[in-house]
Amino acid sequence: MHYFYFDEKGNMLGTDWKKTEGSVNEETYQRILKEGILISSTVPLKVKKQIIKVVVYDETNDRVGSKLIHVP
């Protein structure tokens, strides 16, 4: 996962990289596609209103997904 931190004006505050490894069977993989994966991580809060973009890359299937998280 690659995290990017931004302030409320879109200025980049920092970035971090975390790699998780593992594999699951086909049944679990199909469930994960529907329900998602719960992963937690500590992200530094640099300003009161912060936006975090999390990018996940599945190198086995060459897939990328991302999500913006607004921290009030």
pTM (2 d.p.): 0.60
Q: How far is CA 15 from the centre of its chain?
A: 11
> In terms of DSSP bridges, do strands 12-17 and 63-71 run parallel, antiparallel, or are they unpaired?
unpaired
- The number of folded domains in the chain is 1
The residue segments making up the domain with residue 60 are 2-71
pLDDT digits (tens, 9 = 90+) for 14-55: 888 877 777 889 999 899 889 987 777 777 888 888 898 888
> CA 1 to CA 31: how far, in whole Å?
20
Task: Kindly list the distances between the CA atom of residue 17 and the CA atoms of 6, 33, 34, in Å, as whole numbers in the listed order.
Answer: 15, 23, 25
Determine the residue type at 72: P
